[in-house]
Amino acid sequence: MRVAVAVPLLCIVAGSACSSKKQPPLGTHSPLAESADQVMYGARFVLNDEGVARAHMIADTAYFFDENTRVEVEKPNVTFFTTTGAKDAVLTALHGTYNSRTNNMIARKNVVVVSEDGRRLTTPELLYNQQRNEISSDSAFVMTEPNKRLEGIGFRSDPNMKNIHILKGASGFAKGVSTEPTPLAAPLTLPAPKR
């Protein structure tokens, strides 16, 4: 009798355990992977200009297209170097595109560039021209450094942001410097001319 009750009870418990409708979690992947010629994880690139390393790029994932001349990257981290090889600045973004034919890289979404001496620039999109060793954008940007803030729409600069040219809408402040006009002093009275 005990066996007759235990067997059906065991079948009910085992059957309910196997009838779970929950699907196993699926990993997320980019739709770029479906059409890419090649996919690389933990990708590393050296961006050279006539044999001189101008930048190193590390990306979480790289998708190669157009006979491997266009690379779409996820989470690029680019370290810029001076002509002497010293670290100059670091760029991070969520997405980017590197074109080996033009040697240009476009960084997109939450782009941040931080120089070695503390300047920080944020913008939604940025172009790096490797041959000119120049970063630029036609989007709004904010650049900060200790006690200073500069913003505008569009800029061109060297990667460490020491020489920045703002295209339009420049505004900013520096601690201790006012952009407000100074109050007018009391009118100056000159003595009457002698005769």
Could you give the domains of the chain?
33-174 (2.60.450.10)
DSSP β-ladder status, 95-99 and 70-74: antiparallel
Q: With a cut of 50, which residues of the chain have pLDDT below it?
A: 1, 10, 178-190
Phi first, then psi: give them for residue 27, nearest 5 degrees.
Answer: -70, 145
For residue range 99-142, list pLDDT tens digits in order.
989 889 999 999 999 999 999 999 999 999 988 889 999 999 99
pTM assigned to the model:
0.72
Q: What is the pLDDT of residue 4?
A: 54
From 135, 142, 125, 138, select the one nearest 168 (Cα to Cα): 138
b/e 163-183 (16+ beta carbons within 10 angstroms → b): ebebeeeeeeeeeeeeeeeee
> How far apart, in whole angstroms, are the C-alpha atoms of residue 20 and residue 15?
9
The torsion angles phi and psi of 194, rounded to 5 degrees, stand at -80, 145
Distances (CA, A) of 2 to 8, 9, 88, 190: 11, 11, 80, 122
How many C-beta atoms lie closer than 10 Å to residue 57's C-beta?
23
Q: Quickly tell me which residue has 């961006």 as its tokens.
A: 47
Q: At 15, give phi and psi (nearest 5°).
A: -65, -40
pLDDT of residue 190: 46
Say how far apart CA 133 and CA 151 lie, in whole Å: 22
Q: What pLDDT is stored for residue 189 in this prediction?
A: 44
Tokens of 51: 């044999």
